[in-house]
Amino acid sequence: MDRAISVFIGGSSEGIKFADKVKESLDAGGKIQCTIWNKETFEYNETFLNSLTKASLVHDFGIFIASGDDLALIRDKIEDIPRDNVLFEYGLFLGAMGNNRTFLVQEEGCKLPTDLGGYTTPRFKRNFINDDWNTLGKDILADIKIQF
């Protein structure tokens, strides 16, 4: 591999700490250049959608952090769910990059839409320590290198 692999990391404002941990764990693997959505993504005089569409075309991979930031009443049960924009952006990148280059990293206990029930997602817990994040990063990195 001659150049660094470019990875876009998306998520919610509430989940920025998890995006930072994923970035740190991937950076430790070498030859990965991660961009978190809130840095260098949104340009003046551009809509968020245009900026995200451009990002989906210039990065090699997309990783989206589905943290349980919102509550929803689903069939008489209160569930932790990810922000709707995270799922939208995941779908945008999924359509642009395909299933093998787009990851949804799911917080344990965070309910995803039923259409995503058949996916195996990398998982994390709020109380992960650095070793746990590094293990998760190594697992994702292994999949990335297979695809690249």
- Residues annotated as part of the active site: 89
Contacts of 141 (CB under 8 A, 6+ apart): 26, 29, 32
Whether 143 contacts 32, CB under 8 Å = no
**How far apart are alpha carbons 41 and 19 in whole angstroms?**
15
